[in-house]
A and B are shown apart, each in its own frame.
Chain A
Amino acid sequence: GEDVEQSLFLSVREGDSSVINCTYTDSSSTYLYWYKQEPGAGLQLLTYIFSNMDMKQDQRLTVLLNKKDKHLSLRIADTQTGDSAIYFCAERTGNTPLVFGKGTRLSVIA
């Protein structure tokens, strides 16, 4: 079955860039997603990318997709303390439900 892997922790200083990485196994993935979970809250869709795209930029967020290596990354420019959260990578093939990674806890040090 599909598998999505991501590192569990990342710590960065306020103002620096954060890069959260994710690898997936299903080469037929249609959509790849980044969700954010703030403490005590549900999941909020941050951004997504279609599998036929290499890059997507949305304000401070840049998503890079390397289909050959099945590698997805999320870059957050000028990281702020409000960016501290758990970030989940997820993938979907066709109409199937999302498959999530274990989440990366981002800690921003002031």
Chain B
Amino acid sequence: DADVTQTPRNRITKTGKRIMLECSQTKGHDRMYWYRQDPGLGLRLIYYSFDVKDINKGEISDGYSVSRQAQAKFSLSLESAIPNQTALYFCATSGAGSYEQYFGPGTRLTVT
């Protein structure tokens, strides 16, 4: 079984709709992250959380919100989706003191 899972893997939604992307991990890590990937722009950090009570904005948090429901779960919400939020979204985790971030398989989101 994968250590970091994301649901859904693909989603098409309309402008103005609310959508939630979910991430779960079985690695027991404290730290979780949401990135978006756009062609030619690499990965940009949206939000990150170092433990259940800690939420931090990343480089591009406008238009997004997050919830850390438990150590193993970190969800990303788009309150009112817009077309320029069409992208590939990755969740990642890391342990405190660990050098590596482990990535989920990604969610491809299309906003029409």
Contact = CB atoms under 8 A, between A and B. Distances in A.
A48 B33 CA distance: 19
Instruction: Name the residue among A8, A48, A100 with the largest chain B CB count within 10 angstroms.
Output: A100
A88 B103 contact: no
B42 A100 contact: yes
B106 A97 contact: no
Nearest to A103: B42
A48 B102 CA distance: 13
A10 to B, nearest CB: 15
A42 B43 contact: no
B100 A8 contact: no
A77 interface: no
A48 B22 CA distance: 28
B45 A97 contact: yes
Interface residues of A, number: 19
A69 B4 CA distance: 36
Contacts of B99: 31, 48, 92
Nearest to B44: A100
B105 A41 contact: yes
Contacts of A88: 42-43
A8 B40 CA distance: 7
Contact of A43 (B50, B58, B90): B90
B26 interface: no
A88 B48 CA distance: 20
Given A31-B99, A97-B48, A97-B58, A42 B42 contact: no
A48 B101 CA distance: 11
A5 B35 CA distance: 18
A95 B96 CA distance: 8
Given A42-B106, A97-B48, A102 B90 contact: no
8 contacts: A42-B104, A44-B103, A88-B43, A95-B96, A97-B48, A98-B101, A100-B35, A102-B42
